[in-house]
Amino acid sequence: MKRFLITGITGFAGPHLANLLVKRGHHVSGLVRRTNGMESDILDIAPQDIFDSIEFLKGDLTNYQS
């Protein structure tokens, strides 16, 4: 099992990539910007069981302290 961090998990490609990686048995963490997006935004693409296995992290790549 590998560990993956998906920056922009609430975007267009992020939830699809998370689905693929979780189904293949990998650990997935997703970065969610506090100002843009919520974890629940991916529920229309990621089924509940996959959603529940994702570790969501709040932060912003442009803000070093976050």
What is the residue-wise DSSP string for 35-62?
A: TB--GGGGTTTS-HHHHHHPEEEE--TT
Q: Where are the domains of the chain?
A: 3-58
Record the pTM.
0.86
Contact 39, 56 (CB under 8 A): yes
- Grade residue 64 by pLDDT with cuts at 50, 70 and 90: confident
The pLDDT tens digits of the residues spanning 1-54 come to 999 999 989 999 999 999 999 999 999 999 998 766 788 889 999 999 999 999
